[in-house]
Amino acid sequence: MSAAESIIRIENVTKTFGSFTAINNVSLDVPKGSFTTLLGPSGCGKTTLMRLIAGFHEPDDGTIVIEGNQVNGVPAYKRNTPLVFQEYALFPHMTVFENISYGLKIKKMPRQEMKDKVDAMLEMFGLQGMENRFPKHLSGGQQQRVAFARALITGQNILLMDEPLSNLDAKMRVEVRCELRELQQRTGITAIFVTHDQDEALSLSDWIAVFDKGRIRQIGTPWEVYFKPKTKFVADFVGVANFINGEVVGIEEHDIIVKFNDGVIRVNKYNDKFELGQAVTLVIRPECISIIEDKNAHDLSENVFTGTIGQSSFLGRMIRYWVEAGPIQWIVDDTSPSVRGTLQGIIHVALDKNKIHILPKED
Ligand SMILES: Nc1ncnc2c1ncn2[C@@H]1O[C@H](COP(=O)(O)OP(=O)(O)O)[C@@H](O)[C@H]1O
Ligand SMILES: [Mg+2]
């Protein structure tokens, strides 16, 4: 993310409420035309950062630059950064047309021009024919679309969204999020999106900033934060992971050998950051482990461990197994389950050395 192409630049921003530091020296460059997501647990400061960008809070320290202009001290209504909230905040006494056209009416746009723009928005969001309805006569998904249309109609380049999908049911969330991504790509606007839902973040974003306790822990593509987390917190927050603590006992040309409890694991060496004797944590996603069913398999090679299936959880598209193998409990996702039923008893778990991420062990 180079500075030249960033549309929003947050530099060393800190925001306190009394003695509590809600945003702690955060820096973030948002590339123009990107879909950038702030992901983190509840209370980590996501909304506070959005409010700082939109101008509803002022930082105690640091600067915020939007489209090349420092905006510290600039009031919200002059910042051109519409914010869409979880509670769509539609005007209940206004029709869909009146809600969507609100920003244009304030600008005193002529009636016909306004109608053309609203029509374009209605079409874009599949709301044709609903312009005379009141919000209470719309579904949650439709209300959310009206909120997006209202935010986008004034032609801003930036759209801020704070958990805008969290009031929708599971299926509608996925539907609206696909629409949202498609719309963002089509219009080329810069979207900053807040969520605590990792699936949402992974599926929507160009960039994800993982937050914890007022700090950014990692900024990366969805692929990077999922498969190359820089810390255990990030690994754990963006998905389910097996963590195995061990020690580097061998470094070969292509592989690193890690000893844990009573076994060794071979890991592909994709960088030279590790040295002999170093304490490390291996991060292995459940879908990166395979199960070998054959109880009598003799030719068990490296990175294969024998265990017993404890619990299993049927999720339709996959089955999650908890496998007890010595002191380790593995979480393994069988992503192509058999119609014969769930597995039971003794099995072997097999690790692919190319699907193991290695981190220095944290204290
Ligand atoms: N106006 C405020 N006054 C005092 N504390 C606040 C205020 N706004 C937020 N906080 C605190 O700052 C922290 C971060 O809040 P918030 O940004 O809303 O988190 P998130 O959106 O990630 O859930 C929370 O502990 C919250 O209680
Ligand atoms: Mg929030």
The one-character DSSP state at 244 is: E
Rounded alpha-carbon distances, angstroms, from residue 67 to 71, 80, 191: 10, 10, 14
207-212 β-sheet, strand order: 83-84, 158-162, 190-195, 35-39, 207-212, 215-220
pLDDT of 80 > 80? The answer is no
Nearest alpha carbon, ligand 1 atom 26: 43
Runs of H (alpha helix) within the chain: 46-54, 96-106, 111-124, 140-152, 170-187, 198-204, 222-227, 232-237
What is the average pLDDT across 132-139? 92
Query: Confidence class of residue 156 from pLDDT cuts 50, 70 and 90?
Result: confident
Does domain 3-237 fall under CATH 3.40.50.300? My reply is yes
Q: What pLDDT score was predicted for residue 361? A: 96
Q: What pLDDT score was predicted for residue 170? A: 87
Nearest alpha carbon, ligand 1 atom 9: 48
Q: What pLDDT score was predicted for residue 295? A: 63
Q: What pLDDT score was predicted for residue 90? A: 83
pLDDT of 337 > 90? The answer is no
Nearest alpha carbon, ligand 1 atom 3: 17
Please write down the HEC assignment for all residues of 178-215.
HHHHHHHHHHCCEEEEEECCHHHHHHHCCEEEEEECCE
Q: What pLDDT score was predicted for residue 297? A: 67
Probe target for ligand 1 pocket from 17, 39, 195, with the most ligand atoms within 8 Å of CB = 17
What is the average pLDDT across 143-154? 86
Probe target for ligand 1 pocket from 15, 20, 21, with the most ligand atoms within 8 Å of CB = 20
Judged by average pLDDT, the poorest of 181-190, 222-231, 275-284 is 181-190
Domain positions in the chain: 3-237, 242-360
Right CATH for 242-360 from 3.30.565.10, 2.40.50.140, 3.40.190.10, 3.40.50.1980: 2.40.50.140
Rounded alpha-carbon distances, angstroms, from residue 162 to 31, 187, 211, 236: 18, 20, 14, 23
**CB neighbours of residue 187 within 10 Å:** 15
121: left (phi over 0), alpha (psi -120 to 50) or beta: alpha
- CA of 290 from ligand 2 middle (Å) equals 38
What is the average pLDDT across 135-157? 86
Q: What pLDDT score was predicted for residue 255? A: 96
pLDDT of 124 > 70? The answer is yes
DSSP sequence for 320-352:
EEEEEETTEEEEEEESS--TT----SEEEEEE-
> Cβ < 6 Å from ligand 1: which residues?
17, 20, 22, 40, 42-48
Q: Which residues pair with 84 in a beta bridge?
A: 161
Nearest alpha carbon, ligand 1 atom 2: 17
Q: Which residues contact 178 (CB under 8 A, 6 or more apart)?
A: none
Identify which has the larger pLDDT, 172 or 248: 248
Q: What pLDDT score was predicted for residue 141? A: 82
Return the ligand number nearest the Cα of 164: 2
- CA of 196 from ligand 1 middle (Å) equals 14
Nearest alpha carbon, ligand 1 atom 18: 47
pLDDT of 223 > 80? The answer is yes
Q: Which two tokens stand for residue 61?
A: 């320290």
Return the ligand number nearest the Cα of 44: 1
- The rounded Cα 81 to chain-centroid distance in angstroms is 21
- CA of 17 from ligand 1 middle (Å) equals 8
Instruction: Give the number of the atom of ligand 1 that is nearest the alpha carbon of residue 18.
Output: 4
Q: What pLDDT score was predicted for residue 3? A: 45
pLDDT of 4 > 60? The answer is no
- CA of 234 from ligand 1 middle (Å) equals 21
What is the average pLDDT across 264-270? 93
Query: Confidence class of residue 91 from pLDDT cuts 50, 70 and 90?
Result: confident
Return the ligand number nearest the Cα of 22: 1
Q: What is the C-alpha separation between 330 and 314, in angstroms, rounded?
A: 16
Going by their DSSP bridges, the two strands 190-195 and 20-31 should be labelled as unpaired
- CA of 319 from ligand 1 middle (Å) equals 37
75-143-120 Cα angle (round to 5):
80
**CB neighbours of residue 103 within 10 Å:** 19
Query: Confidence class of residue 300 from pLDDT cuts 50, 70 and 90?
Result: low
